Amino acid sequence: MVPTVPYGSWQSPIDAALAASHDGHPEYIGVVGDEVWWTEPRPTEGGRRALVRRRVDGAEESVLPAPWNVRSRVIEYGGQPWAGVAREGSGPLVVFVHFPDQRLYAYEPDAPDAGPRPLTPVSEVGGGLRWVDPQLRPERGAAGEVWCVMEEFTGEAPTDVRRVIVAVPLDGSAAHDRSAVRELSDDRHRFVTGPRISADGRRAAWIAWDHPRMPWDGTLVMLGEITEDGPFEDVRPVAGDTDESVAQVEWAPDGSLLFVSDLGNWWELYRATAPGETLPGVVAGTGLCAGRAEEFGGPLWKIGLRWFHPLDNGLIAVIHGAGPTTLGILDPETGELVDAAGPWTEWSATLAVQGSRVIGVAASPRSAYEVVELDTCTGHTRVIGSAHDDPVDPAYYPEPQLRTFVGPDSRDIHAHVYPPHNPDHIAPGGELPPYVVWAHGGPTGRAPLVLDLEIAYFTSRGIGVAEVNYGGSAGYGREYRNRLREQWGVVDVEDCAAVALSLAEEGTADPGRLAIRGGSAGGWTAATSLTTTDVYACGTIIFPILDLAGWATDETHDFESQYLESLVGPIGEYPDRYRDRSPVHHAERITAPFLLLQGLDDVICPPVQCERFLERMAGRGIPHAYIAFEGEGHGFRRADTMTRALEAELSLYAQTFGVDRADVPCLELGK
């Protein structure tokens, strides 16, 4: 007989250590000869990113031992950190970025006794030299080159920085000589992606944008002619605009230029055909998938993301959807789109092609992210790497509900609701469960519909979770994203509260036991919610933004340093907004207990904002706790950090909701 136990008190085999050890997922798929390579997390190895290869026989192995960490810091969020090529008779050559020093290294994993060798120098100026989105060009120059984006700090301030496309010699001559790095583009634009090279090797295309725009606001597709040994020539924009976001650009085998643009509200695929020798100065492009009311792209938070990939036969592999996503094969001539079969509801923005095979990374509500192959000849899909393996009985996983709630002004709010679920327990009749509203980061981001053991950690203990894709989230068109323009701290807070209150009003959640949690921009939403509403009994605030004025001046990195121009408004025109919406200036309004979690190495949302906020809270008598983690930046990556953070969060809810949980360390709440 299944025992009756109050919500929040259920025992679960999904403990915090288990959830932490499964955090993160494969990224940056690539093909090296007949092998498929990718990066994947190692939470129990200090949070490093390992480079993994899948050999032809299906065996997986780490290319580099610990502590090698394949991860870029360009724009702090990084991007494609490696590239590889197969060589006849000598095995693969790979170049990669090592996270601690951000140097670019070359490595021949099949060569005996050959360790990684540096290709780029270290700079002592500001944040130094950083590299991302590499592409190997072994045919260039005497020893071959790797073309990539270089981020170069010119002073100590986080905004003293320039970014250009460069060529780095593969012979190591630039390892201690910055002048040996050849610049291919100028620095007329603040931000650039890596170049995409036409099949004939004559042209390069890339994406560029400038402050105060973010890449989902407005970008340009730049085109340049490749020269023998100098910079690109005849550089000009060929697509995009200040109010049009192009998220990806690629060359098709027939010489046409493909790009994803949100000109028609949704990120859709366009083709600009090159007549004769050159493309026109500016092209609108021909829509290849218009009218579907779906996204075929997304926000460019990292350099080198891929939502589509051309095949040699003229077809195009595309990731698309409104909210949840799927992998499809598009015929650009007829517009026919055939989706891959399988259970997956989310495909990451990374694709590789090997002949007729398309390889991506996908997950579902019942499976974590895994490497998936689609054979376009047969339509067959199969998992080929990082296969999901249930660490516990799947009966303990929650079953998500896709919901659309009605918010202020009758606007739609998209959310995933995860009711409490545990096959070993039922709740007393008449008791309503506690619920935690999760606000995602970004805020131009989205909560994916996938298995997350952190969610299962709570739902299997009798605490429901509601992930809210509030107004401003990606995945539902530009108009939905634009709801947050100058309304950050208003629309996101209202939408989260509307979902929480709707769950309570319909009898799904206990109105007296609602909580909110979020990290980064979600931490801002959580903190702002506690200062402006009385909906929540407590909150968990993770590496947050708490002081808009500080963040708009010198308390964040260059990439987002002018993000608030669109989210809040120009600070010179609306200084009162920056003060009125900032939790740091309204600590006296907080009456609910909270937990504040912060990485001490975070340069995006620095700990100084937490410290300033806590000074205002001191002596107010509100129970709260602050846990700061050494060696952690923006986004926790170490297993021990994530374990402690989850247990502390559960203890906060247990104490606030009146639940007895002796199986986790008691979080000491000071006042």
DSSP per-residue codes, 73-139: -TTTT-B--EEEE--TTT--EEEEEBTTT--EEEE-TTSTT---EE-S----STT-EEEEEEEEETT
pLDDT at 276 over 60: no
- Pairwise pLDDT comparison (233 vs 142), residue with the higher score: 233
- Pairwise pLDDT comparison (597 vs 291), residue with the higher score: 597
Q: Which two tokens stand for residue 129?
A: 């030299």
Q: What value does the mean pLDDT of the chain take?
A: 95
67: preceding bond cis by omega (within 30 degrees) = yes
- 150 near 130, Cβ under 8 Å? yes
In the chain, what percentage of residues exceed pLDDT 90? 92
DSSP element (H, E) containing 212: none
Q: Which two tokens stand for residue 93?
A: 């050559």
* Mean pLDDT of the 139-164 span: 94
CA-nearest of 299, 243, 296 to 473 is 299
The predicted pLDDT at position 278 comes to: 44
Amino acid code (one letter) for 599: G
Q: Which two tokens stand for residue 629?
A: 């983690």
pLDDT at 88 over 90: no
The predicted pLDDT at position 141 comes to: 77
pLDDT at 625 over 50: yes
pLDDT at 465 over 80: yes
What is the rounded CA–CA span in Å between residue 465 and residue 460?
A: 11
- Long-range interactions of 37-41: CB distance < 8 A, separation 24+: 37/63, 37/82, 37/84, 37/94, 38/350, 38/361, 38/371, 38/385, 38/386, 39/70, 39/71, 39/81, 39/82, 40/386, 41/637
Burial class (CB in 10 A: 0-12, 13-18, 19+), 191: buried
The predicted pLDDT at position 280 comes to: 45
> Which residue is associated with the tokens 């004559």?
202
The predicted pLDDT at position 285 comes to: 66
pLDDT at 100 over 90: yes
- Domain range list for the chain: 398-657
Three-class SS of 616-665: HHCCCCCCEEEEEECCCCCCCCCHHHHHHHHHHHHHHHHHHHCCCCCCCC
pLDDT at 274 over 90: no
* Mean pLDDT of the 414-423 span: 98
Rg (CA), the chain: 25
pLDDT in tens, 558-586: 999 999 999 999 999 999 999 999 999 99
* Mean pLDDT of the 47-75 span: 96
Question: Band of the pLDDT at 93, cuts 50, 70, 90?
Answer: very high
In the chain, what percentage of residues exceed pLDDT 70? 98
* Mean pLDDT of the 430-453 span: 97
pLDDT at 151 over 50: yes
CA-nearest of 533, 423, 399 to 3 is 423
pLDDT at 621 over 70: yes
Question: Band of the pLDDT at 277, cuts 50, 70, 90?
Answer: very low
pLDDT in tens, 9-55: 999 999 999 999 988 899 999 999 999 999 999 999 999 999 999 99
* Mean pLDDT of the 338-342 span: 96
pLDDT at 317 over 90: yes
Three-class SS of 553-569: HCCCCCCCCCCHHHHCC
Question: What is the number of other CB atoms lying within 10 angstroms of the CB of residue 427?
Answer: 18
Q: Which two tokens stand for residue 311?
A: 């095949």
Question: Band of the pLDDT at 281, cuts 50, 70, 90?
Answer: very low
pLDDT in tens, 176-207: 999 999 999 999 999 999 999 999 999 999 99
The predicted pLDDT at position 282 comes to: 43
pLDDT in tens, 210-231: 999 999 999 999 999 999 988 9
- 104 near 146, Cβ under 8 Å? yes
Q: Which two tokens stand for residue 569?
A: 């408004």
Angle at alpha carbon of residue 163, lines to 241 and 279, rounded to 5°: 40
pLDDT in tens, 302-316: 999 999 999 999 999
pLDDT at 477 over 80: yes
Scored b (16 or more CB within 10 A) or e, 263-280 reads beebbbbbbbebeeeebe
What is the rounded CA–CA span in Å between residue 206 and residue 193?
A: 6
* Mean pLDDT of the 342-360 span: 97
CATH superfamily of 398-657: Alpha/Beta hydrolase fold, catalytic domain (3.40.50.1820)
- 108 near 90, Cβ under 8 Å? yes
